[in-house]
Amino acid sequence: MARFRIIVLDQVEPQTFRVAMWADVPVARQSFYAQPLGSVSAWKDALASDNSNLVSGLVAEEVRTFSVEPGTTLVQARLQMQSLWTQFQSRVTNQNPWARYGATWDGVAWTAGGVA
């Protein structure tokens, strides 16, 4: 399970931030989200266990640039970031591009494939 959900990495302009978001990955799809051995989070203060979760595919990381309108309060900006994270977690959980992964045709018949 991801230790954090959103990590602010830096402020690239007055109203623009770069954030890392971590989402929990369904067990059956973790191998598709797995990163090469030695991969690390964009967050330099990630613990070894955080990086291990990213390498194993237990957690997915997405780094995004996030902008707010001038006059946006910190509370409003945080709520907007939370909404972005909710969308990211929903995408990781509910969108499955591997639903037909590994289906094969031998010239005569199809064998179903797929990852839950």
Taking each continuous run of H as one helix and of E as one strand, the counts in the chain are: 3, 5
Residue 116 covered by a domain:
no
Q: What is the pTM of this model?
A: 0.91
Provide the domain limits for residue 96. 6-111
The number of folded domains in the chain is 1
pLDDT of residue 4: 98
pLDDT of residue 43: 98
Residue 1 covered by a domain:
no
The DSSP line for 12-32 is EETTEEEEEEEEE--GGGHHH
Which residues in the chain come in under a pLDDT of 50?
none
pLDDT of residue 17: 95
pLDDT of residue 109: 97
The number of C-alpha atoms within 13 Å of 11 and in the hemisphere containing its C-beta is 5
Q: What is the mean pLDDT of the chain?
A: 96
